[in-house]
Each structure stands twice: as C-alpha cells, then as structure tokens.
C-alpha cells in the first residue's frame, strides 16, 4: 500500500462518545402528522387491553389477550392455539411486505411516524422540552454548573421519564393478563412478584431506549435502515434536499452579492435549521443516509425559514431521486407510485392476506389428528382377526364440552373399540371433550375373523360434533400381515 | 501514543482502518463508547455468574457458587414436583374400584396415562412396548389369556405373578412328557400334529393324527379340555387360537410337550404400589384383548 504525502496521519479512534443530539422544537405540517399518529398509536396501545369481549363462561373476557400459562391467544372473535402459529407467520410476512411496499412508495414512513422507538422518543423529547426548555436552554443547562435549579430540573426530568416508562411497561403487561384485575392488584401491591419484575424490566428498557439511546437505536441496533438502503429505488418518495435548487448554498447577503454580479445562487441559506430540528442529528443536505428516519421535521424547519426569507417552500421535500435528475436535465417531475415493483408488492400482500383470511374463515372449532401405533403395527387376535391401534387426539376449541361421534370407514366389517369412548349404534363411538382442551383417545380397529386385510389399506376416521355437526376427517392406513 | 499511522479517506474525510482490498480501503466508523461499556458489562456479568453459579473445575471438585445450584438438583426438584402433581391427579384412583375407574372417563384417562408409563418402565422388556409379547412371553393384545382377561383377573395376575414366590401366585405345572418319559418321541410327534389341527394348521405328512387325538384325550385333555380350549383356573393354554406363546411350528410344539415351559412372572405387588398396579390393569385391559 502506497500512501501519498498529502494524506494526513493520525490515530483514528475505534470508539468515540456518541454525539449528543438536542433537537429544536418545530411546528408544521409533518410535526402535526407526527403528533396525530403518536396520539392514535398510544391511544390504541392503551385502550385495547380494556376492551371486553364475551366468550362465554369458560374463557377470558378480554378482547386482546396473550394467555401464556394456558397458551392461548385471543383477538376479538379469534382464538388461536399454539399449533396455529402459522397465523402469526402469515402476519409477520404481511407486516414485512407492507413495510416493503411503504418503502417503495414513501421511503421510511414507518421509521419516521409509527415506529415505537420514534413514538416514545418523541414523547420523551416532549417531556424533556417541557421541563428543561428548548434546544438553546438545554444546551445552556448542559454546560451550566450543578446549581440547585439544574439538579431540580434533571431530577424532575428523569422522574417524569421513569413515570412515563412505568406506564408504558405496565400497559404492555395488560396484554398478558386480565387488565382491570392486574391494575387493581398492582396498585394495592397484591400482584404476583413476576408482574413487578416485568414492570421493572419494561420500565428500564423504555427509559433507556426512549430517554437515553434514542437515535442510537436507529444507528446501531435496528436492521431496517440497512435493509431499507438496499430496497429503495429512484422512484421512492424520500425526504430529499433538492440540491438542484439549493446549491450553491450561501447566506442572504452573499446571494444578493452573487445576484448583483450575475452569478448563480442557491436557495439554501445554510441556516442549519434542518440539522437543529433533526431528532437523529443528520444533515439531510448530504443526501439519503442511514441516520435519516425521514420524519419530515427538516421539511417543516426549512419551510419556516423559506417563508421568512420569501423564497418558495419545499426546498426539502418528499421527492424522488429520479425527479432530481430530471430537473437537472430540465425535464418536468414525474411521480410513479404505480410501477411493477409496487404492483408486485400489492399482489403478494393481497395473496398472503387472502390466504390468511380464507384460513381464518374456514377455521374449525374442532380438530382430529391420528397417529398409528407403531409397536406393534398390527396384532393377531385370538378370534383370528387383525387389529391395528391408533392414537386419536380430539381438540375442542369451544367454551363448552362437546360430544364427538367417531366413525371409521374404508375397511369392511372393521370394528372400533376404545377404553376412553362409549359405543354407539352402527359401530360408532362417542367421546366427550372438555371445553377448550384436547383429549387423547386410544382406538383399536379389528377386522372380522374371516377377512384377511391387505398389507396396507387406507382407513378414514370421521369425528362429528354432535351439537354443531362440524366434521373433522383424518386418513391413516390399516396394516395386515 | 501513535502506534501506526492511519490514513484519512480524501472523499469522505473519514479515517480508514488501514485495511485495503484491491484499492478499496475500509472506512473507520468508530463505535459509540456505550457499546464498549456494554462489552465491559458482559465481562462483569461473567464474573458475577462465576461467583453465583458453579463455574470453575478444581483438582477434585469445582466451585459450587453461592447458592449451591446444581443441574442435577434442579432435575430432582422437577421430578419431585411432577410426582406431586401426579399423586394429586391419581388420588381418585386410590379409592375407586377397577369397575369404577373403567366407568369414569376422567379416571380412565389418568389410569391409562399412568399405566402406559408404568408399562414402559416395568413390562416392556418381556411383553413388548405395545404389549404384543414375543416368543415365550404372552401377547396381551390378542384376547388369549392364560389366567383371565377381566380387569380384576389382570390386576390379580400383576399383583401376585405367575409361579412366583408370592403365596397367592397363579401356579400350575405342565409335565415334561418327553423328558420324564411319559410319552415316547413318536407319540409326542403324533400329539403335536394333532394339536396343530386344532388351530386349523396342516398336520405333518405321514403322521397318524388319529393316534395323536387319542394321546391328547388320554394325557392333555384333563388340563387343556377335550376341545383343547384350555381352562382358566389351571392357566392351561387355549390351543385353538391363532395366537401361540411358544410358536406353532411342529418343532416348537414337540419341544414344549417334551420339556414343558412353565414360565414365571414376578409378583409386582411387592415392587409397585396398588395405584400403579390398578393403572397397569386398566392399561393392559385397554390394549385390545381385555374381556
């Protein structure tokens, strides 16, 4: 490796203290959207656990509940069992695809508006600003010696943060147990230790993530900025500094001078307001970058300045790379929201959503599964018949006990016996399954003495819910010598 | 301080790590300091972990940690908790009779689960994992019983065993017709052939089956019955089914008649508690052969 003499030598650090970001208060279109999204998101988050849903006497009455001890997930009319985890897989696929679509259309709107990290950081910024003042005051306070006023403000800020964090942590727990009960027990100190433990854990993580780590989460922990950089394209609407209009940047005074000399001057007056308001401390004028969560606050800041200096707004705006290049060539802007990529995303989203909806609508309240007894595969009975054993598992997802009628077909004259079931007419059996539970029933199928079954022949078990008439069918084989 | 000169990339103004691949140099993007602190924190965690939990091997033992935690102890606790939970579930089995258990689906479910586990632990080596038996050990699924296949009979057989040292054990002895010189080799061959016909099997070529029938009536019918169907009170085998404990080949039968088998089953009443034996009886009865 040859090193030219113009290159500077120094000892580059491998670690350095994170630069403190002290964003300034700003008001405008995007700030308004952010507040609206924030209140909706928090509103849904806090209200959802308190919505009641009547499921009958043997099931919880909370609309949305993740019941870990009983391994059930409830969401309004849906009740999922652990073996139905594919609904969550589908939901995650759907979430990823929607994220991709939103990125192809509007860049990192998720990061900028709806991500919990953004929402809570915004909330914590608001608390901080309320107690310590705006950017300048906070910088002054940072530099100030430890006066009683500074101590008071700092203590107040961290206390307020911890209270907000506790409310957050508490609310997360409301999704795991009956919400009103938990709150009553929690405040009267009768809740189980694990409730306080989790409240503590969630309080601490919220406090440190939203209060202290803030943009560091986006910069160093979150994978999405990396993935997003690989997924974005020239037609995606990203928060963009229109450098074709802004450059060469110069102060108003210099611009006036330049104009007088007939030289070009950009609209950017280099006031650094876009950096001052940025919650992650990036300079948008350097272009799309990892740290930019595309929340649009720099648009609000720049618009305010542009209005003041009587220049057109939207020097920073949601724009595409394609348009920036087109304007350079003197062509008009084009916005192509519908393009092969977005059509494909929508199609796959519709497909996934359709499949999930179909699965959900045709989901049965009972289920039957079968396992052939392997040792022995079959036995010879003293009467001369051949017997196969099966382990059937009945699932009853309803909140009342159900009687199931079991029928077997596929083998002429075959008789079913089971110690766990009562016989009915026509060789059928009846099994009672408790509400919201499963039952394992060993069943033996025996051929008549004069029939020699094939080495293997298919056998069909049908369970019919006596009350609802819902049928579950499973197929297995009957083995002979 | 300066150990090695570090370059600055001219375009970005960032320092590089000095690593170069085909003219491309890796920029040095310093990690935030708190990341480093997290690393130190993991080291502190490791040290605390060494102190709290068993960690370091010593010459003949190991550091036990502050609270004496062991994996083995944890397993023992889990097993004890499992047993306690099982005892609670099985409490209903203690007082219920076998008939009551069979009539109650809840009790049956518990008894079957317990019986299956106990069967796997105690009975499988001889009777097979599904109770199918093997040569010399009865098939429990076939409905062919030496000492009876009702719940109570099975329970009694398991409790007292067969030809065991238990005074209430089932006992009977088939004579060794060949070894003791009761029958001649030719007669044994004839009666063996006759016994095969009882099960619908072909007799051996050139053997006098009629003579075998007479020998059977004179020597065997007293225990196995005139029709060869066996007698429960004597534990004599039913010779007319498709199921044979020691095989139905002519050589197998000749060996059985010549030497007798008189196999032994231990009395499980001395090894297992009554609830487990009840559960075993329900389970064995459920295997398909119960009467």
**Contact: B132, A379; criterion CB under 8 Å:** yes
Which of B242, B285, B288 is the mutation pick for testing A, counting most A CBs within 10 A?
B288
pLDDT tens readout for residues A143-172: 999 999 999 999 999 999 999 999 886 788
Residue B60 pLDDT = 92
**Contact: B241, A17; criterion CB under 8 Å:** no
- Give dist(CA A187, CA A172) in Å, integer: 16
Q: What is the mean pLDDT of residues A231-246?
A: 91
Residue in chain B lying closest to A216 (CA): B32
**Contact: A419, B285; criterion CB under 8 Å:** yes
CA distances from A67 to A55, A73, B182 (A): 14, 6, 75
- Give dist(CA B231, CA B221) in Å, integer: 10
- Residues 6 or more apart from B7 whose CB is under 8 A from it? A3, A7, A8, A9, B15, B16, B18, B25
User: What's the pLDDT band for B6 if we cut at 50, 70, 90?
Assistant: low
CA neighbor of A300 nearest in space, from A31, A8, A105: A31
Contact A314, A303 (CB under 8 A): yes
**Contact: A220, B30; criterion CB under 8 Å:** no
Mean pLDDT over the full length of chain B = 89
Task: Give the pair of three-digit tokens for residue A344.
Answer: 């494909």
Identify which of A219, A382, A432 has the shortest CB distance to residue B242.
Answer: A382
Residue in chain A lying closest to B243 (CA): A382
Residue in chain A lying closest to B36 (CA): A15
pLDDT tens readout for residues A79-99: 889 888 889 999 999 999 999
Q: How many CB pairs under 8 A join A and B?
A: 123
- Give dist(CA B21, CA B30) in Å, integer: 20
Identify which of B15, B285, B287 has the shortest CB distance to residue A12.
Answer: B15
**Contact: B286, A442; criterion CB under 8 Å:** yes
Length of chain B: 291
Residue in chain B lying closest to A212 (CA): B34
Q: What is the mean pLDDT of residues A390-406?
A: 92
CATH of domain B185-259: 1.10.760.10
- Give dist(CA A157, CA A143) in Å, integer: 17
Mean pLDDT over the full length of chain A = 90
Which of A388, A403, A419 is the mutation pick for testing B, counting most B CBs within 10 A?
A419
A316, A319, A320, A326 alpha-carbon torsion, rounded to 10°: -80
Q: Where in chain B is the domain with CATH 1.10.760.10?
A: 82-168+266-286, 185-259
Looking at the predicted structure, is the pLDDT value of residue A7 above 80? Answer: no
- Give dist(CA A302, CA A295) in Å, integer: 13
**Contact: A382, B15; criterion CB under 8 Å:** no
Residue A41 pLDDT = 93
Q: What is the mean pLDDT of residues A342-349?
A: 96
Looking at the predicted structure, is the pLDDT value of residue A10 above 70? Answer: no
pLDDT tens readout for residues B240-268: 888 889 988 899 999 999 999 889 999 99
Residue B5 pLDDT = 59
Task: State the residue for tokens 């949305």.
Answer: A64
Rounded to a whole number, what is the distance in Å from the CA of B95 to chain A's nearest CA?
Answer: 20
**Contact: B2, A11; criterion CB under 8 Å:** yes
Of the listed ranges A251-255, A380-384, A407-411, B134-138, the one predicted with least confidence: A380-384
**Contact: A18, B141; criterion CB under 8 Å:** no
Residue B183 per-residue DSSP state:
S
**Contact: A419, B102; criterion CB under 8 Å:** yes
Looking at the predicted structure, is the pLDDT value of residue B74 above 90? Answer: yes
User: What's the pLDDT band for B4 if we cut at 50, 70, 90?
Assistant: low
Q: Between B63 and B2, name the one with better pLDDT.
A: B63
Looking at the predicted structure, is the pLDDT value of residue B133 above 50? Answer: yes
Residue in chain A lying closest to B116 (CA): A442
**Contact: A420, B109; criterion CB under 8 Å:** yes
Q: Per-domain residue ranges for chain A?
A: 35-84+115-216, 366-479
Residue B1 pLDDT = 43
Residue A18 pLDDT = 80
Residue A160 pLDDT = 96
Residue B290 pLDDT = 77
Identify which of A11, A15, A373 has the shortest CB distance to residue B1.
Answer: A11
CA distances from B211 to A298, A324, B194, B258 (A): 113, 112, 8, 17
Rounded to a whole number, what is the distance in Å from the CA of B34 to chain A's nearest CA?
Answer: 7
Instruction: Specify burial of residue B158 (Cβ count, 10 A radius: 0-12, 13-18, 19+).
Output: buried
Which of B141, B241, B245, B248 is the mutation pick for testing A, counting most A CBs within 10 A?
B141
Identify which of A17, A216, A379 has the shortest CB distance to residue B141.
Answer: A379
pLDDT tens readout for residues A317-339: 999 999 999 998 989 999 999 99
Looking at the predicted structure, is the pLDDT value of residue B2 above 50? Answer: no
- Give dist(CA B271, CA B277) in Å, integer: 10
Task: Give the pair of three-digit tokens for residue A55.
Answer: 């499921």
**Contact: B130, A373; criterion CB under 8 Å:** yes
Task: Give the pair of three-digit tokens for residue B72.
Answer: 């083995």
B115, B118, B120, B121 alpha-carbon torsion, rounded to 10°: 180
Residue A12 pLDDT = 59
Q: What residues in B contact A442, CB-CB < 8 Å?
A: 112, 286
Rounded to a whole number, what is the distance in Å from the CA of A431 to chain B's nearest CA?
Answer: 9
Identify which of A8, A389, A442 has the shortest CB distance to residue B8.
Answer: A8
**Contact: A375, B139; criterion CB under 8 Å:** no
**DSSP strand pairing (B16-21 vs A15-16):** unpaired
Q: What residues in A contact B28, CB-CB < 8 Å?
A: 12, 14
CA neighbor of A436 nearest in space, from A58, A10, A49: A58
Task: Give the pair of three-digit tokens for residue A205.
Answer: 């993580």
- Cis, peptide link before residue A248, omega less than 30° from 0: yes
Residue B105 pLDDT = 87
Q: For domain A366-479, which CATH number applies: 3.90.1170.50, 2.60.40.10, 3.30.420.40, 3.40.50.150?
A: 2.60.40.10
Rounded to a whole number, what is the distance in Å from the CA of A386 to chain B's nearest CA?
Answer: 9
pLDDT tens readout for residues B22-33: 888 888 888 888
Rounded to a whole number, what is the distance in Å from the CA of A129 to chain B's nearest CA?
Answer: 24
Helix (H) or strand (E) run with residue A318 in it: strand A316-319
Residue A436 pLDDT = 87
Looking at the predicted structure, is the pLDDT value of residue B148 above 80? Answer: yes
Residue A263 pLDDT = 87
Residue A191 pLDDT = 87
Rounded to a whole number, what is the distance in Å from the CA of B117 to chain A's nearest CA?
Answer: 15
Fold adopted by B82-168+266-286: Cytochrome Bc1 Complex; Chain D, domain 2 (1.10.760)
Residue in chain A lying closest to B151 (CA): A419
- Residues 6 or more apart from A465 whose CB is under 8 A from it? A365, A366, A402, A403, A404, A471
């Amino acid at each position: 490796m040859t090193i030219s003499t113009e290159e500077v030598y120094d000892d580059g650090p491998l670690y350095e203290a994170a630069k403190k970001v002290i964003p300034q208060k700003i008001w405008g279109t995007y700030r308004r959207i952010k507040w609206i999204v924030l209140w909706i998101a928090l509103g849904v988050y806090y209200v959802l656990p308190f919505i009641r849903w009547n499921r009958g006497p043997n099931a919880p009455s909370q609309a949305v509940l993740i019941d870990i001890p009983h391994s059930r997930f409830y969401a309004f009319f849906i009740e999922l069992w652990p073996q139905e985890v594919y609904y969550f897989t589908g939901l995650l696929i759907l979430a990823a695809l929607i994220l991709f679509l939103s990125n192809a259309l509007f860049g990192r709107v998720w990061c900028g508006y709806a991500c919990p990290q953004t929402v809570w950081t915004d909330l914590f910024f608001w608390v901080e600003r309320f107690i310590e003042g705006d950017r300048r005051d906070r910088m002054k306070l940072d530099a100030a010696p430890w006066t009683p006023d500074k101590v008071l403000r700092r203590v107040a800020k961290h206390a307020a943060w911890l209270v907000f964090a506790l409310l957050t942590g508490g609310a997360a727990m409301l999704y795991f147990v009956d919400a009103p009960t938990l709150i009553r027990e929690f405040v009267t100190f009768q809740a189980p230790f694990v409730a306080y433990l989790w409240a503590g854990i969630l309080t601490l993580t919220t406090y440190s993530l939203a209060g202290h780590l803030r943009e560091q989460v986006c910069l160093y922990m979150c994978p999405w900025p990396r993935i997003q950089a690989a997924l974005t394209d020239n037609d995606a609407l990203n928060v963009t500094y229109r450098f074709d209009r802004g450059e060469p940047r110069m102060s108003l005074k210099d611009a006036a001078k330049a104009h007088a000399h007939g030289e070009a001057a950009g609209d950017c007056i280099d006031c650094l307001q876009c950096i001052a308001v940025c919650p992650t401390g990036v300079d948008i004028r350097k272009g799309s970058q990892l740290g930019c969560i595309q929340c649009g606050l720099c648009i609000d800041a720049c618009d305010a300045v542009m209005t003041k200096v009587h220049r057109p707004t939207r020097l920073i705006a949601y724009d595409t790379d394609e348009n920036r290049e087109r304007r350079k060539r003197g062509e008009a802007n084009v916005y192509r929201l519908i393009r092969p990529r977005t059509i494909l995303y929508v199609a796959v989203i519709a497909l996934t959503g359709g499949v999930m909806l179909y699965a959900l609508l045709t989901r049965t309240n009972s289920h039957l599964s079968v396992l052939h007894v392997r040792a022995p595969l079959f036995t010879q009975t003293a009467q001369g018949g051949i017997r196969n054993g099966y382990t059937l598992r009945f699932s009853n997802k309803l909140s009342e006990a159900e009687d199931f009628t079991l029928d077997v077909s596929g083998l002429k004259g075959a008789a079913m016996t089971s110690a766990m079931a009562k016989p009915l007419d026509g060789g059928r059996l009846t099994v009672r399954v408790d509400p919201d539970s499963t039952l394992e029933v060993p069943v033996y199928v025996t051929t008549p003495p004069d029939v020699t079954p094939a080495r293997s022949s298919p056998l069909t078990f049908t369970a019919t819910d006596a009350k609802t008439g819902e049928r579950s069918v499973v197929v297995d084989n009957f083995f002979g010598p | 301080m300066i150990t090695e000169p570090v370059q600055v990339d001219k375009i970005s103004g960032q320092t590089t790590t000095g690593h170069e691949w085909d003219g491309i140099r890796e920029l040095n993007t310093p990690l935030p300091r708190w990341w480093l602190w997290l690393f130190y924190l993991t080291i502190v965690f490791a040290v605390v972990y060494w102190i709290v939990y068993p960690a370091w091997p010593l010459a003949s033992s190991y550091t036990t940690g502050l609270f004496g935690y062991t994996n083995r102890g944890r397993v023992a606790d889990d097993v004890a908790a499992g047993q306690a939970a099982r005892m609670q579930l099985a409490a209903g089995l203690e007082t219920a009779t076998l008939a009551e258990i069979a009539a109650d689906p809840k009790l049956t479910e518990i008894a079957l689960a317990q019986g299956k586990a106990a069967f796997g632990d105690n009975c499988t080596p001889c009777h097979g994992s599904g109770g199918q038996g093997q040569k010399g050990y009865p098939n429990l699924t076939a409905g062919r019983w030496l000492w009876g296949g009702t719940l109570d009979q099975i329970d009694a057989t398991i409790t007292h065993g067969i030809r065991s040292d238990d005074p209430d054990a089932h006992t009977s002895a088939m004579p060794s017709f060949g070894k003791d010189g009761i029958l001649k080799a030719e007669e044994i061959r004839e009666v063996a052939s006759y016994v095969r016909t009882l099960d619908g099997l072909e007799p051996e070529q050139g053997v006098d089956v009629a003579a075998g029938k007479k020998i059977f009536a004179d020597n065997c019918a007293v225990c196995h019955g005139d029709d060869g169907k066996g007698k429960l009170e004597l534990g004599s085998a039913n010779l007319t089914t498709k199921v044979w404990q020691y095989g139905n080949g002519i050589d197998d039968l000749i060996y059985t008649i010549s030497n007798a088998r008189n196999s032994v089953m231990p009395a499980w009443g001395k090894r297992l508690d009554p609830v487990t034996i009840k559960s075993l009886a329900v389970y064995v009865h459920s295997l398909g052969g119960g009467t």
